[in-house]
Amino acid sequence: MIFWPFKVVRRIISALFTIVLLYFAITFVQIWLTGHEHSKESAQAILVFGTTEDNGTPSAELTVRLDHALELYKAGRAPWIAVTGGNRPGDNFTEAGVSATYLEGHGVPASRILRGAGNDTWQNVSTVLAALKKHHIVTVLTVTDPFHEYRAMAISSAQGLKPQPSPVSNSPTIHFSLWLYYLKETASVGVGRIIGYRTLSSWTSTASNVHVPSGG
């Protein structure tokens, strides 16, 4: 009988561990499935989540996202393209600015491009939200890598948008330690749903100030 309290504690800890493990396992499956969904619906805008640029030139990962957005735009799936992404100390260009230049060079009128900023997913959405609202845009096709699609949509929803999945299918990222990206996303989504994605952004962001350029 003397060990009875310890057995109870061990069972409680074991049950909690099982619940947490199951929670994150379900989260992983949700992320995986969403990353393989492709909406056939049209929307009011295409929302492109930023990623790295190389001194004014889109990285391979960003180029794939922009090319996908171009395909959607030219297919008439949405009349606007919103680009996001800021810059890091020492950068001369923003991801959003580089994206806008690339899109303009491929035939998208500057008047149809809305610019945001941001150094994480929450900031990507929040910095372009005013420009979207200015044009009464609510529905968006979210363009990003498959492993990031679920969180991108969840954060878009949390800020009042109605997102539809449109992940890229040929990102160079999938060739490099893809499982690490899925594990990171599983942790981010799992924690973000508990504490709130905005709070998670404030905890993890390395940017102390985010400049919000004109939405166009």
3-state secondary structure string across the chain: CCCHHHHHHHHHHHHHHHHHHHHHHHHHHHHHHHCCCCCCCCCCEEEECCCCEECCEECHHHHHHHHHHHHHHHCCCCCCEEECCCCCCCCCCCHHHHHHHHHHHCCCCHHHEEECCCCCHHHHHHHHHHHHHHCCCCEEEEECCHHHHHHHHHHHHHCCCEEEECCCCCCHHHHCCHHHHHHHHHHHHHHHHHHCHHHHHHHHCCCCCCCCCCCC
- The pLDDT-based confidence of 16 (bands split at 50, 70, 90) is very high
More confident residue, 49 or 206: 49
- Residue identified by tokens 């948008």 is 161
Burial of 46 (0-12, 13-18, 19+ CB in 10 A): buried
Residue 5 has pLDDT above 80, yes or no: no
Residues 92-147 pLDDT 10s? 899 999 999 999 999 999 999 999 999 999 999 999 999 999 999 999 999 999 99
pLDDT of residue 215: 36
Q: Are 45 and 78 in contact (CB under 8 A)?
A: yes
pLDDT at 194 over 90: yes
Q: Sorting pLDDT into bands at 50, 70 and 90, what band is 165?
A: very high
Angle formed by the axes of helices 4-34 and 178-195, to 10°?
Answer: 110
What does the pLDDT read at residue 3?
58
pLDDT of residue 1: 57
Looking at this protein, which amino acid is placed at residue 177? Answer: S
Tell whether the model's pLDDT for residue 214 goes beyond 60.
Answer: no
Q: What is the mean pLDDT of the chain?
A: 91
Query: So what's the pLDDT on residue 8?
Result: 78
What does the pLDDT read at residue 213? 39
CATH class, domain 32-204, is: alpha beta
What pLDDT is stored for residue 91 in this prediction? 82
> pTM for the complete prediction?
0.89
